[in-house]
Amino acid sequence: MRDRLAGLVKFSDRKEWRDWTDDIFELHFGQVLDEFDLEFDELQAILGEALTIAVMRFALEDCCTRPLDEGNATCLTDLYLKKRGYTESAGNKAFLTAFAQSTVSLFEIVEVRSNTSLLIRDRLTGGDAFEVTSQAETSQAEPGRMLAARLVRLKDETILTTGYLPYTSSAFDLLVAGLKVGIAEDPNAADTMSDDELAMRLKAIDSRSLTPFFTISWLLGTLPDSIPGSDETILTSEGDPYLLFKAHYPLPKGVAQKHLKPILDGIETLHRVRDGIYDWIGEAPADEGEERFSPDLRDIDGNLILGHVELKGRELIFTTTSDNRGERGRAMIEEALGEKLGKPRIQRETMDEAGEDMSMLTSMTASRFGDGLGAGMLPADIIDGAYRAALDMPLEDFGGRTPREAAKNPESRAAVADWLRSIEAQFASLKAPNSMVGDHDVSWLWPELGLDRDRD
Arithmetic mean of pLDDT, 379-385: 51
pLDDT confidence of residue 334: 95
Record the pTM.
0.54
Residue 371, pLDDT > 50, answer no
Provide φ and ψ at 266, rounded to 5°.
-90, -5
Q: Domains in the chain, start-ordered, CATH in brackets? A: 6-225 (no CATH), 243-354 (3.30.70), 394-448 (no CATH)
Instruction: Please tell me whether residue 37 adopts helix, strand or coil conformation.
Output: coil
Residue 370, pLDDT > 80, answer no
Of 116-120, 262-266, 451-455, highest mean pLDDT: 262-266
Provide φ and ψ at 297, rounded to 5°.
-90, 155
Q: Is residue 166 a contact partner of residue 299, using CB atoms and an 8 Å limit? A: no
Residue 445, pLDDT > 80, answer yes
Q: How far apart are CA 285 and CA 294, in angstroms?
A: 12
β-partners of residue 112 are 118
DSSP state of 394: -
Helices (H), 101-233: 169-183, 195-204, 211-222
**pLDDT tens digits along 291-313:** 444 556 666 556 778 888 989 88
Angle among Cα 222, 272, 262 to the nearest 5 degrees reads 165
Give 159's contacts (C-beta < 8 A, 6+ positions apart). Answer: 95, 132, 133, 134, 135, 151, 152, 153
Instruction: Please tell me whether residue 195 adopts helix, strand or coil conformation.
Output: helix
Residues, the chain: 456
Residue 390, pLDDT > 60, answer yes
**pLDDT tens digits along 332-348:** 999 999 999 999 998 88
pLDDT confidence of residue 372: 36
**In angstroms, how far is the first alpha carbon of the chain from the final one?**
23
